[in-house]
Amino acid sequence: MIKLLKYMKGYGRDCALGPLFKLLEAVFELLIPLVVASIVDVGIAAGDRGYVVRMCLLMVGLGVIGLVCAITAQFFAARTAVGFAARLRRAAMEHILSLGYTEQDALGAATLVTRMTSDINQVQNGVNLTLRLLLRSPFVVFGAMVMAFTIDFQAALVFVALIVALCLVVFGIMLTTMPMYRRVQAGLDGVTAATRENLTGVRVLRAFCKEDEQIAAFSGRTRELRKRQLLAGRISGLMNPLTFAILNLAVAVLIHVGALRVEAGVLTQGLVVALYNYMSQILVELVKMANLIINMTKAAACGSRVQALLDVKPLQAEGSDDSALRGEVEFRDVTAAYAGAGAPALENISFHVLPGQTVGVIGGTGSGKTTLVNLIPRFYDAASGQVLLDGRPVESLDRRTLRLAVGVVPQRAALFQGTIRENLLWGDANASEDELWRALEAAQAAEVVRGKEGLDSQVAQGGANFSGGQRQRLTIARALVRRPKILILDDSASALDYATDARLRQAIRDLPDKPTTFLVSQRAASVRFADQILVLDEGRLAGKGTHEELLASCPVYQEIYYSQFPREEAQNA
């Protein structure tokens, strides 16, 4: 948590002024009981109404000044807390985006969402309360006790006993509930993960009629979280009744001692009232301090979680070679494995692709097709072997230069809320309207856009207002806007019919600056005309060559091809 304080840089003045104005408010608050004592002992005792009115106006004045100080302190504390949280959230987002797929897979999306939202909000609240109360509450408690001792030493001993008893209750409850609140925050991760999973897969749930099962599982998680929160809340709820019981007992003792001191002529009635007011102030401030410490504890726990995220170091070293790429790709005995996996996803893969060639990547589900193409833009690093672009190891290349030269269309078509134009400009922010339309024509998406409201048609979150095939064509167009040297289509035409798929492949071959294209597909028809076809089987390269060569020599390719085309049709094709 201490490491996070660097994000408060520039708020030093606000951090000083917030507590300062709170201390000024506390000073005016400590003067109030003395004014009340003066009203009782002087104004009421002498029947001087004018004096009483003047003292009441003085109290109102002190209250107004205290209110102004409190509002000013709140302004500085809030500005610091909100600014700190904004910087921290920005830093966390930048750090998440700098992490590779391996680190993001290990952390999990649900944890990242919780730390970006709930945890940082809790840290923000902790900073706000700390600036307002960390100095004020102890100042009022000890200030009230000092004022009590200046009034009467014997009566002030009741304050000492009261503070000890209240501290035992307040801090005992606090120490008991702190680990409980940590477990509550951890349980929130589980609920967030379940929520995200259900919302992401809602269509699958409905298709398999699993709503009731998922509702039951989600209810179980929320019940467990509720149980943890209730247990912590019930223990925390003991604070008010116990503290007020102790206070009332102390008040009874104070009145008794005060009465004896008044009878002895040591104290006046007004001073006894002042002592009672100071005792009430101590109770209120101790309760505030306890709540502050609980919030600080929560904030510290959440801050540690955010710091743990920021401490995750990207495993990929940054390259420095920013030379332009031509599109030549070579794999030399490459093996790739996911973190924590029992076996490699790819083993001993070797092939060579010249600039402008089209490569088909085909194989069964889980054969490693996506893993292979993810090594090219360096979403993952190879465990052994070398991935070379233009004869240079991919690790030596500047990451931004590399990814600007590679156009990737992932398996899951992802569009962002906004307009079609805004989505396409992700490929190249400086692209002209003609370039956008050329990309749409090549991606077979021009008719989709014309059928809407043109480039300024609205795109719902996730592209929910488009069909699966339309989303795929728009994401392909977005990649083509970049005019990449290497184009990766990772099963990105699976929702297209065969005729549209064929036109798309022909349009890519006819591009003026023909990119080196990797077509990942389970359709033999999509890859059969590629310059080179890679056949993967359980992470190994079962064959490579042209369609005719593989059909004659590769049993895996034969099985895939003849399962989609009867032998008679295949022979006539």
Sign of CA dihedral 461, 465, 468, 469: negative
Give the CATH number of the domain where residue 256 resides. Answer: 1.20.1560.10
CB atoms within 10 A of CB 427: 21
CB atoms within 10 A of CB 265: 7
Q: What crossing angle do the helices spanning 136-151 and 153-200 adopt, rounded to 10°?
A: 160
Count structural domains, the chain.
Answer: 3
SS (H, E, C) 531-544: CEEEEEECCEEEEE
Q: Is the pLDDT of residue 461 over 90?
A: no
Take residue 107 and report the two structure tokens written for it.
Answer: 């952390």
Q: Are 148 and 267 in contact (CB under 8 A)?
A: no
Q: Which pLDDT band, with edges at 50, 70 and 90, does 462 fall under?
A: confident
Q: Are 222 and 229 in contact (CB under 8 A)?
A: no
H-assigned helices in 152-210: 153-200, 202-207
Take residue 346 and report the two structure tokens written for it.
Answer: 């790819």
- Residues contacting residue 445 through CB under 8 Å, at least 6 positions apart: 470, 473, 474, 476, 477
Alpha carbons 362 and 71: distance in angstroms, whole number: 67
Give the CATH number of the domain where residue 452 resides. Answer: 3.40.50.300
Among 483, 518, 533, the domain boundary falls at 483
Residues 388 and 417 in one domain: no
Model confidence, pTM: 0.72
Among 277, 310, 343, the domain boundary falls at 310
Q: Minimal CA–CA distance to 196: which of 139, 113, 254? A: 113
Q: Lowest-pLDDT range, 134-148, 183-197, 347-361?
A: 183-197
Residues 423 and 278 in one domain: no
CB atoms within 10 A of CB 330: 17
Whether 564 maps to a domain, the answer reads: yes
Whether 84 maps to a domain, the answer reads: yes
Q: Are 436 and 481 in contact (CB under 8 A)?
A: yes
Residues 27 and 173 in one domain: yes
Residues 266 and 341 in one domain: no
pLDDT digits (tens, 9 = 90+) for 274-332: 888 888 888 788 778 777 877 887 788 888 889 988 998 887 777 888 888 999 999 99
Phi, psi angle pair for 228, to nearest 5°: -65, -45
Q: Which range marks the domain in which residue 273 is found?
A: 2-310
Take residue 397 and report the two structure tokens written for it.
Answer: 């290349």
- Give the three-class secondary structure for 350: strand
Alpha carbons 546 and 290: distance in angstroms, whole number: 74
Residues 177 and 282 in one domain: yes
Among 438, 460, 483, the domain boundary falls at 483
Alpha carbons 500 and 49: distance in angstroms, whole number: 95
pLDDT digits (tens, 9 = 90+) for 10-66: 898 999 999 999 999 989 988 888 888 888 888 888 888 898 899 999 999 999 999
